[in-house]
Every structure is written in structure tokens, then in C-alpha cells.
Amino acid sequence: MELNDLKAFIAVAESGSFSRAADQLFITQPAVSKRIASLEEKLATRLFDRIGRSVSLTETGRHLRDRASRILREVEDLQRSVSELDGEVAGTLTMATSHHIGLRRLPPVLKAYNQAYGRVKLDIRFMDSEEACLAVEQGSLELAIVTLPPNPAATLRLREIWRDHLCFVAAEDHPLTKLSRVTPEDLVRYPALLASWGTYTREILERALKPTQLRLQIGMTTNYLETLKMLASIGLGWSLLPKTMTGDGDLRILPLGDIRLTRRLGVVYHHGHTLSNSAQAMLDTCLRFAESPTG
């Protein structure tokens, strides 16, 4: 079996799509199909059921997925350990980040990293923080720069880099902005525009409101904070956003003095895996940009 065939198989299995697998591997979709066909021919069995645009693993495919993932991780560990004997920072660093951090926090880090380690090819995957942490936990990603989980898995190591102060916000003409003091009881009278259920940001809010036993009136949910900001700025409801997103005058911060929320942003990696030179260099670069807990 060719390693490239196994990589294509894992990419399709994880993404559920030949086209997304092609984007992930930076090859064409026909090339992915050819590699899968080659693997199926060598194994003399079908690995995927293809019904229309839907792709799902066969029983054999499900059996192969876990073993193929282990084989690829072992090969990557071997390549990394050999290449790093001389301390060189080079090769490909595959990492994940969220759209918000990638847009608002990461650019100066990536600029400094690229200037210092120009021989490293960055393969950055944009995904939800929760998905990225799971990928690190399962070993398919070396590290992620994301919102840190409030209750992390025991296998994950977290390094805080930034801290987001979260603010309740609404458009200038929203009824809540007319109040001198806003309470949770006031919030539940109007639609909320929030991060989706199950996200770390939403979990922070739900945990803070749990003692009140109040039920929020959910207007819309999305994991894209820029979209929530836009929806709030045109008056569709109030939202909870990082303070760093509120400085351009589109939104008014609501005075909820009794509830102060923060979320931690930083680097996540597996404590059982030794970081590659390129990943350690990324962690070190991030730490140079770290803020104090009150920053």
C-alpha cells in the first residue's frame, strides 16, 4: 500500500467528501479518486459507498480507518524524529485555528513565524475550536490555536496566549440600550444572537446564567462571530461578543455589571506527543505575543 493512498482514504473518511479531501491534500479530485480506486484494487474490496453526492464508509472502510490513522501517525512520528535530530526547523506544520482567531489574533504571530522560519510550510485548517481540540486529542492535528475548552480532556495541554473579555452588546437603537442597568431578566425579553449550542463561548454564557434559571429567547445562532456582529448591528437582537470586536461604533456595550465573562484563547496540543521543531517554534512564537491574564 502507498502512503499517499492511505492519506487520501483518511481525508475522504474524515471529510465525507472527495472534493473536500482534494482541497485538504492540495490535489485534484480525480487524483483523490484514483488513489482510492488504487487502494480498493489492492485490498480487493470497496471502502466507500457512493450514493449520489453522499459518501460513506463500508464496514471494511470503518475497520481500515482506525488502523490507517495509526499507521500514518507512526510514519509521521518517525519522519519527524529523524528530521529533527539536527534541530532544523523545516517541513510542513499542519495546525488548526478558528476563523475569529485567524482574522483578529493570529496575523502578527504568523508574520513573525514566517520571517523567522521561512523553511516551514504552513498547512492551516480553519475549523471550530471544539472540532480542532478533538482532532488534536485524536492525533490528527499536532496543535491548534483556538478558544481553550473550559473542561479540557485529560490528554490535552493548554497554553493561554490571549484573554477575551466578553461583552453583551446591541445596536444603538435597541431597547436594551435605553436602560441604565441591564439585568438577566431584561435580556430574556429580547431575541439573542449567539454562538451555537455546544461551543465553548456558548457554554461560558449558559454556565453564567444557569443560577438564574432563566431561558434565553434565541433568535439566531452561528459559529461565525463576525456574522453575529453584523446581525446585532442591524438590530435583530442582542449578542455576546469579544470586546475587541466592539470598538468601531456599530454596537453599544450593555451595562451588565453583575455578569463578567471571559474566554481564554491559546495553543492546544497533546501532552503525550513530543512537539516537532516547527510546532515548538510556533508555540514559542505565540508565547512571545502572550498577554497578561488581565490584558
Q: From CA 153, how far away is CA 137, in angstroms rounded?
A: 8
Q: Which residue has the higher pLDDT, 78 or 68?
A: 68
Q: From CA 271, how far away is CA 286, in angstroms rounded?
A: 18
Q: From CA 105, how far away is CA 202, in angstroms rounded?
A: 20
Confidence (pTM): 0.71
pLDDT confidence tier of residue 20, bands split at 50, 70 and 90 = confident
Contacts of residue 272, Cβ cutoff 8 Å, sequence gap at least 6: 155
pLDDT confidence of residue 81: 65
pLDDT confidence of residue 89: 84
Q: Which is it for strands 54-57 and 120-126: parallel, antiparallel or unpaired?
A: unpaired
Q: Are 215 and 188 in contact (CB under 8 A)?
A: yes
Query: Measured on CA atoms in the order 215, 221, 222, 225, is the torsion positive or negative?
Result: negative
Res. 80: pLDDT tops 70: no
Name the region of 198 (left: φ>0; alpha: ψ -120 to 50; beta: rest): left
Residue type, 226: E
Helices (H) and strands (E) in the chain, counts: 11, 11
- Domain 163-263, CATH: 3.40.190.290
Share of the chain above pLDDT 90, in %: 64
- 104 phi/psi in degrees, rounded to 5: -110, -20
Which CATH number does the domain 1-71 belong to among 1.25.40.10, 1.10.10.10, 2.160.10.10, 3.50.50.60?
1.10.10.10
